[in-house]
Amino acid sequence: MVWDSAFPEGLVARSISVLFENYERFYGVSAREMCRRLQVRIDRRSRDPFTAGLDRPRDGRQWCVVLPPAGHSEVQEGFLIFHELAHLFLFDRIGMSYSRSQSTAEYLEVEAWCDNFAVAMLFAEVGWRVVAKDERCRYFRDGSGANDFDAGCRRVGELITRACDRAEARIGPLFLHPLRRLARDLAAQG
């Protein structure tokens, strides 16, 4: 299949490399611990119940992940934080915008990469490697094509459910409950 990207090929390759590098670097680390190591602050002031954001540091020093008000599970919050950290890596390393000011196609593609990063990190926390080095391009690119936010949520929900099904045989159902709950919540949106 020929990949149809809104970005030049070289930029796609570099973006995926940056995400994969950080996947390896922080493999098994929780979202909050990752923020601590990266000196990123977490703040609850997003007005949208399902949307998080990334704040440019006002003093030029500390980045901030903005979360919705309380009410989400730890896994849901982890997903939102990992997603925003993916934006931060892409901005920091290759200057890719993390706001909605890009074209729609570019915006949705980057959202899909960041979702895929977040899913991979959630699985890394329970010791399951969903991204192999030689499959990283396929993994990060597979997620593209969601054409609205709700469809994106449903797609991520389905992705998590499929990965849970595969993982259950290997690591048992115990650690998968929070991920399955997240998958159901995401799949139910829209």
Find the shortest distance in angstroms from Cβ 83 to Zn ion. 6
**Residues 53, 59, 62, CA angle at the centre, nearest 5°?**
50
**Residues 31 and 121: beta-carbon distance below 8 Å:** yes
Query: Would you say 141 or 167 has its CB closer to Zn ion?
Result: 141
Classify residue 147 by burial, with Cβ atoms within 10 Å: 0-12, 13-18, 19+. exposed
Instruction: Look up residue 35 and give its two tokens.
Output: 């923020």
Find the shortest distance in angstroms from Cβ 87 to Zn ion. 5
Q: Which of residues 56-115 bind Zn ion (CB under 5 A)?
A: 111, 114
Query: Would you say 143 or 176 has its CB closer to Zn ion?
Result: 143
Find the shortest distance in angstroms from Cβ 19 to Zn ion. 13
Find the shortest distance in angstroms from Cβ 64 to Zn ion. 15
Classify residue 15 by burial, with Cβ atoms within 10 Å: 0-12, 13-18, 19+. buried
What is the Cβ-side half-sphere exposure of residue 98, based on CA atoms within 13 angstroms?
22
What are the Cα distances from residue 12, in Å, to 4, 118, 170? 11, 18, 32
Query: Would you say 77 or 111 has its CB closer to Zn ion?
Result: 111
String of contacts with Zn ion for each residue 113-132, x by CB under 5 A: -x------------------
Query: Would you say 52 or 131 has its CB closer to Zn ion?
Result: 52
Distance CA 16, CA 12 (A): 6
Find the shortest distance in angstroms from Cβ 137 to Zn ion. 20
Number of residues that bind Zn ion (CB under 5 A): 2
- 54 Cα distance to chain centroid: 13
Query: Would you say 153 or 179 has its CB closer to Zn ion?
Result: 153
- Report the interface residues with Zn ion, using CB under 5 A: 111, 114
